[in-house]
């Protein structure tokens, strides 16, 4: 372990700090739903659509930013992403219409996140550590992103209360700009192309012909739907149920805190057990937790319990899903292939974020969206079960089955 730290410790530190900033700030966007919607009289769908668009743009851009990072190293990709993210936050602070909100929070921040989040950053980590340590290292980096959520949510709420929502976004823009100097820690050096190495087209063709790749992608769709619906709409849902506004912030902070443990444990277990089977168990547990939360009497303490339980299951899918992709296809094109799988996550995120606002505005309730989330948990469990965690024939030793 000491030798691993000596060769890859700085990479893991840089990756962890970048994810903590990028994801920690992003997870606080739900706190801006009520003050912005109330000030401009938008209803909840306008803000929800902008965040849903952010997730869709993030997903659509991810395979391209991933491919660039795989071929040329992550540094330039992360720098551009960090700058766009910071500019998007600043412009979001000046937004006063649905269009300006969609351009800033949706388009610019969406592209920025594609260069500063899991697919690119975990691709760097996957190339920096030996195969036997890969799942654990990805779990550590993902846990750092979760800690960022825990640390940033109370800070974001404090900024909104102190400065107002607009100035709070400007302050967050300055904070996310710290990603740029942190790039110096990544030291990502993709191996030079070899004469026999796959081209991008060959890598895409190989993945497209593998059933496990599509099953992982479809399962990840469910993860995106659930985490964005909960992250954006849970604070408002709890206020609707006559709980104090601070409870929603505390619940999301608990999600972030317990996700530190959840992602670390998932990474540790992923190095010892079949990752697709762990994903099946994880999605089933999510369904159970949502059922218990929605259909039990709601109190402050039951909301806190939901945050803790959901936190253990929140981003635990990330090291398991990315680790399975790395096992199946190797790490040479990991950021790109992981980006394609993540695109499905973001398609689900778009639907979860937007549908929550749409159905609330049209029915006055989140009940149907909770029911959809429960059904999707069962679907994801079924999809991940048949995935075989076995490298493609190209990566297997000669004569292996």
Task: List pLDDT tens digits, range 46-101.
Answer: 888 898 889 889 888 888 888 888 777 788 889 999 999 999 999 999 998 999 99
Please state, in angstroms and as integers, the Cα–Cα distance from residue 384 to each residue in 126, 269, 277, 282, 381, following that order.
Answer: 22, 16, 7, 10, 6
Q: Six-digit token pair at 74?
A: 């992550």
What is the b/e burial string over 328-341, where b = at least 16 CB atoms within 10 angstroms of the residue's CB? bbbbbbbbbbbbbb
Q: What count of other Cβ atoms lies within 10 Å of the Cβ of residue 394?
A: 10
- Mean pLDDT, residues 149-161 taken together: 84
Please state, in angstroms and as integers, the Cα–Cα distance from residue 1 to each residue in 188, 259, 269, 284, following that order.
Answer: 20, 24, 17, 34
User: What is the model's pTM?
Assistant: 0.79
Q: In sequence order, which residues have a C-beta less than 8 Å from that of residue 306 and are 6 or more positions away?
A: 251, 289, 292, 293
From 88, 75, 92, select the one nearest 40 (Cα to Cα): 92
Question: Residue 104 is inside which H or E element, if any?
Answer: none
Residue with tokens 């991810």: 62
Q: In sequence order, which residues have a C-beta less than 8 Å from that of residue 138 and are 6 or more positions away?
A: 122, 125, 126, 267, 318, 319, 322, 323
Q: What count of other Cβ atoms lies within 10 Å of the Cβ of residue 206?
A: 18
181-210 tens-digit pLDDT: 998 887 766 555 555 666 778 888 888 888
CA–CA distance, 322 with 134 (Å, rounded to integer): 10
pLDDT at 4: 47
Q: What mean pLDDT, rounded, does the chain reach? A: 85
Half-sphere exposure of residue 26, counting CA atoms within 13 Å on the CB side?
Answer: 29
Is the pLDDT at 1 greater than 90? The verdict is no
Is the pLDDT at 5 greater than 60? The verdict is no
């Amino acid at each position: 372990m000491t030798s691993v730290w000596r060769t890859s410790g700085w990479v893991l530190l840089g990756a962890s700090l970048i994810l903590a900033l990028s994801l920690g700030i992003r997870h606080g966007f739900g706190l801006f739903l009520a003050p912005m919607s109330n000030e401009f009289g938008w209803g909840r769908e306008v803000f929800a659509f902008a965040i849903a668009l952010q997730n869709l743009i993030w997903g659509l851009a991810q395979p391209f930013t991933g491919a660039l990072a795989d071929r040329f190293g992550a540094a330039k990709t992360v720098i551009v992403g960090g700058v766009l993210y910071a500019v998007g936050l600043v412009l979001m602070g000046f937004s006063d219409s649905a269009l300006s909100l969609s351009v800033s929070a949706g388009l610019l921040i969406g592209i920025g996140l594609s260069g500063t989040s899991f697919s690119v950053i975990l691709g760097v980590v996957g190339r920096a550590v030996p195969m036997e340590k890969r799942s654990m290292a990805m779990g550590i980096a993902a846990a750092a992103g979760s800690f960022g959520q825990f640390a940033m949510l109370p800070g974001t709420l404090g900024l909104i209360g102190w400065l107002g929502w607009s100035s709070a976004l400007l302050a967050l823009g300055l904070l996310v700009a710290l990603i740029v100097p942190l790039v110096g820690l990544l030291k990502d050096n993709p191996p030079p192309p070899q004469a026999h190495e796959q081209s991008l087209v060959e890598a895409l063709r190989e993945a497209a012909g593998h059933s496990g790749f599509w099953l992982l992608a479809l399962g990840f769709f469910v993860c995106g739907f659930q985490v964005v619906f909960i992250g954006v709409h849970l604070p408002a849902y709890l206020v609707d149920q006559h709980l104090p506004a601070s409870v929603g912030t505390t619940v999301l902070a608990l999600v972030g805190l317990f996700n530190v443990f959840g992602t670390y444990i998932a990474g540790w277990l992923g190095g010892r057990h079949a990752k697709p089977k762990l994903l099946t168990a994880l999605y089933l547990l999510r369904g159970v937790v949502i059922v218990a939360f929605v259909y039990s009497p709601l109190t402050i303490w039951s909301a806190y319990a939901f945050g803790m339980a959901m936190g253990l299951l929140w981003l635990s899918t990330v090291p398991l899903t990315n680790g399975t992709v790395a096992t199946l296809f190797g790490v040479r094109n990991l950021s790109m292939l992981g980006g394609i799988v993540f695109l499905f996550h973001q398609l689900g995120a778009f639907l979860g974020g937007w549908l929550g606002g749409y159905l609330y505005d049209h029915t006055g309730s989140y009940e149907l969206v909770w029911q959809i989330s429960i059904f999707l948990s069962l679907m994801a469990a079924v999809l991940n079960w048949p995935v075989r965690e076995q490298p493609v024939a190209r990566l297997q030793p000669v004569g292996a089955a």
